[in-house]
Chain A
Amino acid sequence: MNVDLSVRLGRLTLNNPVLVASGTFGYVREMTRFLDVSRLGGVIPKTVTAQPRAGNPTPRTVETASGLLNAIGLDNDGIDHFLQHHLPYLRTLGTPIIANIAGENEDQFVSMAAQLAAETGLAAVELNVSCPNVSHGLDMGIDPTAVERLVGRVREACPYPIIAKLTPNVTDIVTIARAAASGGADAVSLVNTFRGMAIDWRKRRPILANDVGGLSGPAIKPLALRMVWEVARALPKCPIIGIGGIWTADDAMEFLVAGASAIQVGTATFADPGASARLLDSLPEKIASLGAGSVREIVGTLRSNRG
C-alpha cells in the first residue's frame, strides 16, 4: 500500500504523524523492549524542568472508568541532567526528538529554551504550559496574553520549531490556540489532561495524595475531539497535534479528519506498550480505505451534519 504518511507542522516535517505523548513514554529508553521507536514519527520524552523536582507523594495515579487520573507532579531530574544524561542517548535513536519543557514562569521557559537552542539533534521543542499537577505553570496556559508572549519569547530564544501543548481546562480553547499561533507557535498540541478527582467515600478522602489530578485515556477522547475540531475550524492555518485517548488507528483517523495533522499516543502505552507501533502499522490501510494516498489529503476533511 503506497500511502504517503509524511506531515508538516509549521517548520517541522515528520515521516509519519504518530508521536508519543510526554509523560507516557519515560525517557524513551524504557520503551525499547516493546517496540522499534525509530519507526515512530517522533518521540517526546517526559517533561523536564529548570531544577530537579521530586514530584508529588503517592498515590500518584488511580484508574477510573476507561481512564487514568494522575498527579505525578513533574518528577524529573532537571534540564542539566536531561542534557547530560538523556539527550546523548536520544540522539542515537534515529527518530525525531521533541523535548518537552515546563517552567514555573516565563523566564524559566525562555532560559530552558535557550539551553536547548545550544544543543544539536532536536527536532522541536514542546512547551508544557498545561500541567495540572504543579502549583506554578498552570496559570500561564489559561491566559491568552501570557501564552502569546511566552511563545514569542521562546521563539526568539530558540531556533527549533515550537509546539505549545495546551490545557483543556479553559472556557474557550480557540482563544488560547489563537494566542499560541499569534506568538509564532509552529503547532499546538491538543489536549493535556482534564482536571478531575477520584474519591474513596468510605474514608471520605480523595484517592490521589494530591487530591486532584489530570484525567487521560479513552474516557477523554470525545472531549479532545471536540476541541481539535473547534480549533481546526476557527484556525485552519494552525497545525494541530491531536492527543486524548488515542489507542488504535481508528482513534487516530478520527483526530486526523477532525483537523489534526499528527497525533500523540499517551495513556494507551501504559496499558499496551506497543500500541503506537501497531497504530502506525494499521494507518496506511485506513487512509487508503478513504481513497486517499496521503495523510495530508484527509486532515480536516470532516463535514458538519449541520451544513
Chain B
Amino acid sequence: MSEALAPACAAQRTVTILANEPVAKDTYKITLDDPMLASQITPGQFVMVRAGLGNDPLLGRPFALFDVVRDSTGTPVAVELVYLVLGRGTAELSRKRAGEPLPIWGPLGNGFSGPPVDGGDVGFVAGGIGFTPFLALGKWWRGTASYGAQGQHTGSLVSLARLYYGARSANLFAGLNDFAHAGLDVRTATDDGSLGHHGFVTDLLKADLQAGWRPSKLVGCGPAPMLKVLAGIAHQYQIPCDLSLENHMACGFGACFSCVTPIREPDGTTDLKRVCVEGPVFDSRCVVF
C-alpha cells in the first residue's frame, strides 16, 4: 500500500546555519534558523539536510529533531539537530560554518505519540547516535515543553523518564548535561567500560525490571541488534514499546523506496514499509528483525 505521505506541512527551504559545534567525538550539534520548521516539528520526526549547494555529496541525510530553540517569549525560532560524522556527507556538513546556507526539507516522518495514557514511569533506550530523539521526547512527556501544533498534550504526564544510554566509549556521549537539566534520569553503559556499566545498555534495563521496576512504556532508538534485544525484553515483561528505526534513506519522503523494512501486519502477514513515511516509529511487536 502507498497511502503514507510526508506530513502535510513538509516543505523544502534553504535555511541559514546559526551554529555548528562539536559536542562529542565526531559528533556535532547544528542549529538552523527556521522558525516555521521549529513551530511544526515534533519529537521523533526528522529533517533531510543536504551538506551544501553542489551535487557532491548528492543526497540529503536524515537527522532526528534534537530540540527546538525558543526566544525569550517562548516562540520557536530554530531547530537543533545532532549528527555523527560517518561518511562524506556528514564530514562535509561538519565543515559548514554559521551564516552559510543549507538546503533542507521537513518535517518528515511520524513522530512519537503522546505519553502513556495513565502516565507512570517510562524507559528510553538509546544506542550511539540514537540518543538524539530523547531530549525532546523527555521534555514533552514530562510536560516541560510542547512541540508542533500539539500545544499542551492531553495525556497524563510521566512521573519518571529514565534514559538508558549506551555508546562504544565515554568520549562519544553527547547531551548528558541537557538530559540532566531536562530532568531525565540517565544511566550509561559503554562497550569498553570507560563510562557507566561495562556492557550492553539493555543489561541495565533488564536489571531494573528484574528488581521490580515497571515502566508503562519503553522507547528505543539505536542499532538493530540493540532494538531486537529491547523488543524481546518488552515482550517478556509485556510492556508497550516503540522503536524508532534508522534505515538508509535517499529521499525521506516516500518516493525512492530505499528505506523499506519488513513490518508484521495485524493479520500476521509481513509487508515492506517505507521507514520515512510509514515510520520511523513502529510498535516493537510489528518490527521483523
Contacts and interface: CB of A to CB of B under 8 A. Distances in A.
Interface stretch (A61-69, A122-130, A166-174, A183-191): A61-69
Interface stretch (A20-28, A227-235, A280-288): A20-28
A33 B55 contact: no
Interface string B53-64: 001111110000
Interface centre among B8, B89, B254, by most chain A C-beta atoms within 10 angstroms, is B254
Contacts of A85: 1-2
A271 B50 contact: yes
Contacts of A61: 248, 250, 256, 258
B272 A75 contact: yes
Contacts of A273: 12, 105, 251, 253
Interface in B85-132: 88-89, 103, 105
Nearest to B88: A63
B257 interface: yes
A63 B89 CA distance: 10
Interface centre among A46, A75, A270, by most chain B C-beta atoms within 10 angstroms, is A270
A202 to B, nearest CB: 13
B282 to A, nearest CB: 16
B247 A26 contact: no
A59 B255 contact: no
B255 A75 contact: no
A67 B10 contact: no
Interface residues of A, number: 38
Contact of B257 (A29, A66, A67, A75): A75
A174 B247 CA distance: 40
**Chain A interface secondary structure, helix, strand, loop or mixed?**
loop
A59 B56 contact: no
Contact of B255 (A26, A54, A58, A68): A26
B276 to A, nearest CB: 10
A29 B274 CA distance: 15
A132 interface: no
B272 A30 contact: no
A34 B11 contact: yes
Interface in A32-77: 33-34, 46, 54-55, 58-61, 63, 65-68, 70, 72, 75, 77
B6 interface: yes
A33 B255 contact: no
Given A66-B55, A68-B59, A33 B260 contact: no
Nearest to B270: A54
Interface in B30-89: 50, 55-60, 88-89
A46 B253 CA distance: 14
A269 interface: yes
Given A60-B260, A68-B58, A218-B58, A274 B12 contact: yes
A117 interface: no
Contacts of A59: 248, 258
A66 B50 CA distance: 13
**Chain B interface secondary structure, helix, strand, loop or mixed?**
loop
A30 B277 CA distance: 9
Given A61-B248, A66-B58, A273-B251, A30 B258 contact: no
Given A29-B5, A63-B57, A65-B56, A270 B257 contact: no
A234 to B, nearest CB: 30
A25 B2 CA distance: 13
Contacts of B12: 34, 272-274
Contacts of A58: 247-248, 258-261
Interface in A241-290: 247, 267, 269-274
Nearest to A74: B257
Contacts of A55: 257, 260, 272
A146 interface: no
A179 B270 CA distance: 42
Given A218-B58, A270-B59, A271-B58, A70 B2 contact: no
A271 B257 contact: no
B260 A77 contact: no
Contacts of B6: 30, 33
A86 interface: yes
A269 B247 contact: no
A27 B250 contact: no
Given A30-B5, A59-B248, A272-B12, A247 B55 contact: yes
A43 B89 CA distance: 30
Contacts of A24: 255-256
Interface of A: 23-27, 29-31, 33-34, 46, 54-55, 58-61, 63, 65-68, 70, 72, 75, 77, 85-86, 217-218, 247, 267, 269-274
Return the 3 tightest CB-CB contacts between A and B, nearest first.
Answer: A26-B255, A270-B251, A30-B254
Interface of B: 1-2, 5-8, 10-12, 50, 55-60, 88-89, 103, 105, 247-248, 250-251, 253-261, 272, 277
Given A61-B250, A270-B60, 18 more contacts: A23-B256, A30-B2, A33-B11, A34-B11, A34-B253, A58-B248, A61-B256, A70-B258, A75-B257, A77-B1, A77-B2, A269-B255, A270-B59, A270-B250, A271-B60, A272-B12, A273-B251, A273-B253
